[in-house]
Amino acid sequence: MSKISFSIQYAGLTLQVAKNDQGQEVTPLKPIADLFGLEWVRQRKRVTEGVYYPRFLGTVQVPMYSADGQRREQTCILLSRVAAYLSSISPERVRAAGNIDGADFLIAKQEEWADALHDYEELGVAVNLNHAKTQEVLRRHRMSFAQLISIKSKTPDVADRQALGSLIEKMAGELGLPYQRDIPA
C-alpha cells in the first residue's frame, strides 16, 4: 500500500489522493461526507457493507497521513467513482441540513453530469465546454472555419466554391454553428 499521497482539485473540491493495492487512485470519503454535512457513520456503513456499493465504488481502507503526521486508516473510494458517489447524494437532504451552497453545488454538478451522460449515450461523446483544452480546440476550429470562409469568398471557380461550401456546411454542423448555403443566382 502506498504511503505517498497528494491532493487534487476535483469539481471544486480539494481531495487527498493515494493508491490502493492495485495501483488505482483512491480518495478518503469522510472529508467529502463532512463537506456536505452528511452523517459519517451512516455514509461509511453505506459504502462498506453489502456487496454492491463496496464493489462499485472500490471501497478500501488505506493508511494515510494527516497534516499533523498522524497515520490513520481511511475509508476510501476510487477517485474515478467520486462523481457517482456525489450523484447518489440528495441535494434536498443537504439543503435540509442547512448547507445551501453544498446543495446548489450538487444540483449543478448532477445536472452537468446527467447532460454529459446523455450526450455520451446519444452522440458517443461528451464534451465539457468549460474545460480549457476544449475551449482551445474550439477556438482553433473556429479560426479554421473563418479562414475557410475567407478562402471560399476569394475562389473564382464555381465548382471549387461549391466544394468549399459543402465543407464549410459540414464544419458548421460539427461546431453547432448556423450556416446559410449560397443562394443560386
Mean pLDDT taken over the chain: 85
Higher pLDDT, 136 or 4: 136
Whole-number Cα distances in Å, 45 to 30, 40, 49, 50, 54: 12, 8, 6, 9, 10
pLDDT in tens, 140-173: 888 888 888 889 889 999 889 888 888 888 888 8
Per-residue confidence (pLDDT) for residue 170, from 0 to 100: 87
Asked whether the beta carbons of 61 and 71 are under 8 A apart, the reply is no
What type of residue is 55? Answer: R
- Count of beta carbons in the 10 Å neighbourhood of residue 163: 13
pLDDT in tens, 60-116: 998 877 767 788 889 999 999 999 999 999 999 999 999 999 999 999 989 989 998
Per-residue confidence (pLDDT) for residue 17, from 0 to 100: 86
For the chain, which residues make up each domain, given as ranges? 6-89, 132-175
Higher pLDDT, 136 or 112: 112
CA angle 112, 113, 116 (to 5 degrees): 90
The residues near 43 (Cβ < 8 Å, ≥ 6 apart) are: 29, 30, 33
Higher pLDDT, 109 or 182: 109
Q: Label residue 183 by pLDDT band (50, 70, 90).
A: low
In the sheet where 25-28 sits, what is the strand order? 6-10, 13-19, 25-28, 71-78, 60-65
Higher pLDDT, 127 or 38: 38
Location of C-alpha cell 446559410:
180
CA distance 49 to 99: 27
Q: What are φ and ψ of residue 71, in 5° steps?
A: -90, 125
